[in-house]
Each structure stands twice: as structure tokens, then as C-alpha cells.
Amino acid sequence: MTGLVSPIVIQFVGFVIVAAVVTQVFLMVIHSVRRLEHEKARHDIQLDLLRARVQTTMAQAGVERDRSELSWNGFRKFEIQKKVPEAPGVHSFYLVPHDGKKLPPFQPGQYLTFQLRLPDEQKPLVRCYSLSDSPLDPDHYRVSIKKVPPPRDKPELSPGRSSTFFNEILKEGDILDVKAPSGHFYMDMNKTTPVVLIGGGIGITPVMSMINSIVESGVKREAYFFLGLRNKAEHMMKEHLERLERENENIHLHICYSNPDDDDIEGTDYQHAERVSVDLFKRVLPSSNFDYYMCGPPPMMSSVTTDLKEWGVPDSSVHFEAFGPASVNQKKKAEAKPADANAPEINVEFAMSGKTLKWDGSAESILDFAEDNGINMESGCRAGNCGTCITAVKSGDVSYSIEPGSAPEEGSCLTCICVPKENLVLDA
């Protein structure tokens, strides 16, 4: 009949409508399932992050408790349990307490202070060396020490006294006097933000402690590790570093050889035939938004810190330590500022040396000032921790550029980190 719709057509239209409704419902269900899966995944990630923060906080609380309860004052006897060659002229020393008691954990990047009794020398020699292993639940401490050769421009001079003593004289079973770990240069283990760890030569030691602590903490903190060396002959702990990167997706290793030998293989032994630099960071890092921890020779430290500042990295994100007294002196003198011309004149009298000198503000500390004027004073860490430079104050007062690791006794000062506030007489 004309004008009537065929039942087949009606059935087909109905089928299409039902199919469309079913499809829409199916799509809605799929979307809901996907949304629930996405929300669950996001919830799981947030839960994992919360668990990581809780674990880190609890672990750090335990570390702080053990550090407080197990630390010690003065020097403690330690035995060299193992002496392991790492590279030509470099050994690692595994130290255990002679009394057999537990060791306190330390902050990754800190150092030990040694009082060394060298043959044929009447006065003990105080030196500081960075800890080079993880600080978490230690049953030993490890320091890795390179024998310091004479300066290249003065080969007639003797090599480093303490580093030669460690590398050539000390042996397994020997006993050393050691102060508890200290130092203001260390990585904050309460944070989980990404870091760039930079070592140059034997400056690898404190940043090695840092990368080991990241791995052993179990927190997947993103870490880029840059190490500058001349060639493979200097490449200490090579296999260990390669294993860390192979087994941990959050560890990214970048080895730089400035002068590779013919048998050094790029891509296997090292990744970059150049020096460590901010130009390299710009090519490798996803951004500049990291905390930077570095230790190395003065030229590397100076160029990297300057270029990081020019790259827009805030000073609060850059942490560094130059190794060796000469390195520290060079950095300090470069930063020293002249005294205010309108400030009252200050004189510093070194009573035992018979010298009275006008303080001109050109030195960063009284210790630097004394050395610049030919006055020899005892020193060790040059960071206000080891106490070697402590000197009696006969009159006057001082102010400190950084907070001492432990306050000196009343009537004395740590000359490596203080300057005179007024006319000063020192028993030196």
C-alpha cells in the first residue's frame, strides 16, 4: 500500500537504533573503565610516592638516632681491615673500629679526620679525606686516597706527606686515630628531587658516596653522574659504576675522558671525549632543574660553577667542595673582598711569632692571613670541623664566616673560618 513503510525497513531502522544505543553504552562503559583504570594508576603512583616518602622519613629518623647515639668525641682507634688498589697511586682503605662497637651513619659527602703519626716526625699530622661508600647502616668506613705527586712545575718538591703515608707505608692491620664523620658538604637524603653528581679525578670520592646511598636507599631518585678523567688508567671503580647504571634505571652514567688512549673505547669505556662542562650538561640533561653536587680540581670547579650560574641555576641548587688545602685556599682568595675604607683599623698580633699586622680584609680567614704573611699555623680540614687550627685568643674577639662543626672552647678560635671583629692578640 502506498505511503506505508515496509516492516523490513522498520525492523532495520529499529536494529540500527538498538545497535547505536548498545554501541553508545559500550563506549560509555569502555570510557568509564579506562577512567577508573587511569584514576587507579594515578592513585597507585601517589600511594607509591607516599610510601617512598614515609620510608625515607622513617629511615632518616633512624639514621639521625643512630648518628646521635653512636657518634664519639675526639679521636677513636680504627684498624685498616682492607687496603684495595683502585688505580695507579690510589687505594681504598676499609676501616673498622678497634673496639668492635657499632658505627654511626653519616651524611653522603662528609669526610673523616685523621691524626697521623708519620715516621721521623715529632708532631702528628692532621688530614681529612672524604668517605667514598654508602652511609647507610655501615659496618665499616671507606676512604679512597690518591698519592699526591709534586707539582708539575716543581718536580723537585716532595709528594704529599699524608697521601704517600697512606699509599706506600700503611698496611692492613695498622691502627689509625680517627674523628667522627663531619663536614658541611653533603646530599640531603630527605629529598627525592633529581640530582647531578659531578666528580673530577679523585674528587669522585664524596659523589661516589652519594650515588651509592641513592641506590641503597631504594628510592628511585633520578641521578646523572658525570666523571672527568684523563683516560681509562685513572678510571677507579669503573665496574661498580657500570653495574649501578645497568641495574638501576634512575642512574645515568656519563664518563668524560679528556685525553683517551688509543685502546680506550668510546661508548664502552667512556661516553664523551671531552672535559666535564656545562655545555655537555646542556646536551645531555633534559633541563637545568636539578640539585648539583660536585667535587674536583680548582679549574673544573671554577668553570662549572660559573657556567651554571650563567645558565640560570640558582646558587641554592649548587653544592661543591674543592679537595686539598691548595684548592680551598685558591677558592677563598678569589672570593676575598677588600676591607671597607671607612671601617676602624684592626690589628692582629701573633704573639709567639712576634708580628703585629694590619687586617686589610684581603684574606678570607685569619689562617689565610697568617699564611699570606709567612706565619705557619696548624691546619687540617679548613672547614671548621677538625679542630686542628684551634688557637688561644689572648684578647679581642672574632666572627665566623660559617658555623663551626663543633664550637671551640671559650677563649679560643678556629682560625680557618674566622676573621677579627676588633684588635686581636693570638697565641700563635
State pLDDT tens for residues 140-177.
Answer: 999 999 999 887 777 777 888 999 999 999 999 999 99
If you average pLDDT over every residue of the chain, what do you get?
A: 87
pTM above 0.75, yes or no: no
Average pLDDT over residues 393-403: 91
Predicted confidence band of residue 285 (pLDDT cuts 50, 70, 90): very high
Q: Which residues does 311 contact at the CB level (< 8 Å), separation at least 6? A: 278, 281, 282, 288
Q: 25 or 5, which is more confident?
A: 25
Predicted confidence band of residue 132 (pLDDT cuts 50, 70, 90): very high
Structure confidence by residue, pLDDT tens digits, 354-373? 999 999 888 889 999 998 89
Structure confidence by residue, pLDDT tens digits, 379-391? 877 777 777 889 9
How would DSSP label each residue in 22-71?
HHHHHHHHHHHHHHHHHHHHHHHHHHHHHHHHHHHHHHHHHHHHHHHHH-
Which one-letter DSSP state was computed for residue 348?
E
3-state helix, strand, coil in the chain (%, to 5): 35, 25, 40
Predicted confidence band of residue 45 (pLDDT cuts 50, 70, 90): low
Q: Give the span between the Cα atoms of 104 and 64, in whole angstroms.
A: 9
**Confidence at residue 273, expressed as pLDDT on a 0 to 100 scale:** 96
Instruction: Quickly count: other Cβ atoms within 10 Å of residue 246's Cβ.
Output: 10
Structure confidence by residue, pLDDT tens digits, 310-327? 999 999 999 987 654 434
**Confidence at residue 58, expressed as pLDDT on a 0 to 100 scale:** 55
